[in-house]
Structure 1
Amino acid sequence: MTYEKPKLVMSEIEKVLENHLRPGSTEITPLSGGNISNVFSFILDGKGYVVKFSDLAGAYETENYVSNLLSSQNIPFPKCLGLGRTSQLTYLIMERMEGRNLSDCTAEEQTLHLPEIISILTRMAAADIGATNGYGWIGANGNGSHTSWKDFVVAVNAEDQTGTFWENWHDLFRTTCLERDVYEEIYCRLMDYVPYNESNRSFIHGDFQQWNILSNGTRITGIIDGNCMYGDFLVDLAILDRHMPWSDVIKAYQNYQEKAGIVTPYFKERLMGAYYFKGLDGLRFYAKMGWNDAYQNTRQFLLNLTA
């Protein structure tokens, strides 16, 4: 069974905004995007905001932390104004950033933004996380969920995912297009590259692509959402490359690093590990969502990867 986002009626949304902020919110409008959240924009006292709802436990605690981390380091990420619960749903209220989803721009327009996007990616990777520890999912306290990258990779691919979005995910082998032999093949390849990614610990957005990047037509105005974690920041580069295959993202990144005098040790091996890590998660996600074309495209890409 594919995942369905929670449904809300307008009166529920109005009540949340009135209770957490104050009366007077107008132009409450559903927004596209968001695979696990229902997202709405609204106006209050002439300013734009966003409220998101999810039925997943602790859905936005990390986003609240990440908002404080990135916005304090001059990275264009929306500031949080409120976090709470209503009925069985968690909600998060944030400022609305100027611009529209980069996905609404043409491929040519997206490519023109690429140098700035890579600059932001590099700045996110350089965010000061020295006061935290751990790898993997970032918790509400700012620490990672696991003691090593390898432990994290093993854990997120384990069968027992009780209480998470992936609970009973092995059922997907029976009920969807997810193929066990393909999954296990990619997992084995991933584990071969884990040692190259292991020693690199930076902030990772985790869903760094056009639907989570905002533009006003001339510049990038914001980065939103994310499946944030600690680990090798090349995961974000791999995501961007897979979503902008027409833009030669990897070459643009290497050119940027060369001009900045930045050396990335074991770049090719780490990038392979990043492709396999996100690709494997993508196979599982696309199968659960019923996105067969995306599944087949990712499957072919991963199986054709060579060192």
Structure 2
Amino acid sequence: MHKTAQNPYQQAPHKIGELYSPFQCLAVGRHVCATSGLCGQHEISTALGARCVGVFADQSRHHECISGPQLVVHHCHRSLPILRSTAFAFSSRGLHRICGTESDSGAARRNMKPKLSYQAMTSALQRDLGPISAWTSVSEGEESQVFGIRLANEDFILRINRLAESFHKDAFCYRHFASASLPIPQILSIGEIDGHAYCVSRRAAGKTLQDLSPAELPAIVARVDEVMDAIAEAPVDATAGFGRFDANGSGGHESWHDFLAAITDPQHHDWADHEPAVDRNWIEPHLCLLHEFIPSCPETRRLVHGDFGSNNVLIDSFAITGVIDWSEALLGDPLYDVANILFWRPWLACMEAQARYFEKHRLDLVGNVPALRCYQLRIGLQQVFECASAGDMEDLSWAMARCDEIASTPPV
């Protein structure tokens, strides 16, 4: 488990029996908010808050629940692992794990996207930055509200999230990796609005790669390839470790192979918790196959975007104007970004266009079939886990079928 960045509403560790709001449950020091709805037997009476009923200092597999004015549950006797540094919060859809271990860093948080009022946002921004002369709607991310705003005759992007960690990580990436060949928008301000984090960054011109028409894609894919090379060549002297890194540049794993294998480790990903949606007879052969692939992958430590190639690349007049959203950035093999494009090629036209470009012009990349197969399977298994966590059965079915394709046939 890697370190997490400080955020504006970080609280002291919970105390047993004390009452906390959902937002206070979002970021705490260690083990928090008793057990959760992992077994599916908890009944939530209100979305107003949660009473902390256990602070676990070990890896005990037994837990017990209590009743309180904010949380009504009944006893749970199923043995389940209590994962380290896991936080829970409530919404109208029930109880969610929304931060903590690598396993719950994705899909569960998407269910908790903030919806702040215009009045609250305007008041906070004018307090911190001055008058706003214009607002525009922008396609939202998976975890954030996103707006275009105008301050002092300049255009900026405003993002609102439950947590500030990804914003601080974007700022770290701008400071250490941005260059003429790798345009990363500057982060100007990170602050707080009603218990949520906000981030204001310079607005890059253009539209996302995903928003281009199929006819526009062939003319831009070579530029995209150049930016991928710039990512791979970015200096990583200010970082340490491997795998996903935090807002201080510290990776959460001792080696690249360790990161790849983390999907098979119950301490990071409790696959038993997702049965029957992901049957043991399906997941175990795929995890074993991944273990077989890992030794063929190089132990290298370079910058990896981690979610490159679709809505995180901005284009204007056949130029790449911005590479955004570095929340999934890694330290490891840059071929992982190529594998991400290959994995998603059946899903998005922009990924298919890039994959075809690689197959025609970058045989040096697509020729490493064993590593690409490993990385695609690793990406797919992470997607399976997150879809199962979120209860997204349609996307889960697609991801499992894609993993089956990769497991049975080389990717290129």
TM-score under structure 1 length normalisation? 0.84
Cross-structure match for 1:106: 213
SS of structure 2 residue aligned to 1:90? strand
Alignment of 1:290-301 (within 5 A): 290-301=391-402
Q: For the residues of structure 1 that align with 2:188 and 2:403, how far apart are their CA atoms?
A: 40
Q: Which runs of 5+ in 1 are unaligned?
A: none
Of 58, 74, 86, 2:193 maps to 86
Q: For the residues of structure 1 that align with 2:148 and 2:278, how far apart are their CA atoms?
A: 35
SS of structure 1 residue aligned to 2:287? helix
Structure possessing the higher radius of gyration over alpha carbons: 2
Q: For the residues of structure 1 that align with 2:310 and 2:166, how far apart are their CA atoms?
A: 22
Q: For the residues of structure 2 that align with 1:68 and 1:42, how far apart are their CA atoms?
A: 23
Tell me the amino acid that sits aligned with residue 240 of structure 1: I
Of 275, 282, 291, 2:376 maps to 275
**Aligned residues, how many?**
295
Tell me the amino acid that sits aligned with residue 78 of structure 1: P
Q: Contact 2:177–2:235 at 8 Å: present in 1 too?
A: no
Q: Contact 1:59–1:90 at 8 Å: present in 2 too?
A: no
Cα-to-partner distance string for 1:68-112 (whole Å, 9 max, x where unaligned)? 223246411111101233332222211110001222221232233
Of 252, 256, 260, 2:357 maps to 252
Tell me the amino acid that sits aligned with residue 238 of structure 1: A
Alignment of 1:147-296 (within 5 A): 147-155=254-262, 158-160=265-267, 171-173=273-275, 177-226=277-326, 227-245=328-346, 247=352, 249-250=354-355, 252-253=357-358, 255-257=360-362, 267-296=368-397
Q: For the residues of structure 1 that align with 2:114 and 2:329, how far apart are their CA atoms?
A: 22
Q: For the residues of structure 1 that align with 2:298 and 2:290, how far apart are their CA atoms?
A: 12
Change (3 A) 1:57 1:71: closer
Q: Contact 1:73–1:127 at 8 Å: present in 2 too?
A: no
Q: Contact 2:164–2:198 at 8 Å: present in 1 too?
A: no
Change (3 A) 1:178 1:11: farther
Q: For the residues of structure 2 that align with 1:131 and 1:49, how far apart are their CA atoms?
A: 28
Q: Contact 1:213–1:224 at 8 Å: present in 2 too?
A: yes
Deviation at 1:12, TM superposition (A): 1.9
Q: For the residues of structure 2 that align with 1:47 and 1:93, how far apart are their CA atoms?
A: 12
Q: Which runs of 5+ in 2 are unaligned?
A: 1-92, 94-107
Deviation at 1:152, TM superposition (A): 2.5
Deviation at 1:133, TM superposition (A): 1.9
In the alignment, is residue 6 of structure 1 matched against residue 114 of structure 2? yes
Cα-to-partner distance string for 1:216-239 (whole Å, 9 max, x where unaligned)? 243322211131111111111122
Q: For the residues of structure 2 that align with 1:180 and 1:34, how far apart are their CA atoms?
A: 32
Cross-structure match for 2:4: none
Q: For the residues of structure 1 that align with 2:278 and 2:118, how far apart are their CA atoms?
A: 37
Tell me the amino acid that sits aligned with residue 5 of structure 1: K
SS of structure 2 residue aligned to 1:6? coil
Q: For the residues of structure 2 that align with 1:8 and 1:121, how far apart are their CA atoms?
A: 35
Tell me the amino acid that sits aligned with residue 189 of structure 1: L
Deviation at 1:169, TM superposition (A): 7.9
Q: For the residues of structure 2 that align with 1:16 and 1:198, how far apart are their CA atoms?
A: 47
- Cα RMSD of the aligned pairs, angstroms, is 2.7
Deviation at 1:65, TM superposition (A): 0.5
SS of structure 2 residue aligned to 1:108? coil
TM-score under structure 2 length normalisation? 0.64
Identical counterparts, % of pairs: 25
Tell me the amino acid that sits aligned with residue 235 of structure 1: Y
Change (3 A) 1:66 1:281: same
Higher relative contact order (CA 8 A, sep 6+): 1
Which structure features the higher share of helix residues? 1
Which moves more between the two structures, 7-16 or 248-257? 248-257
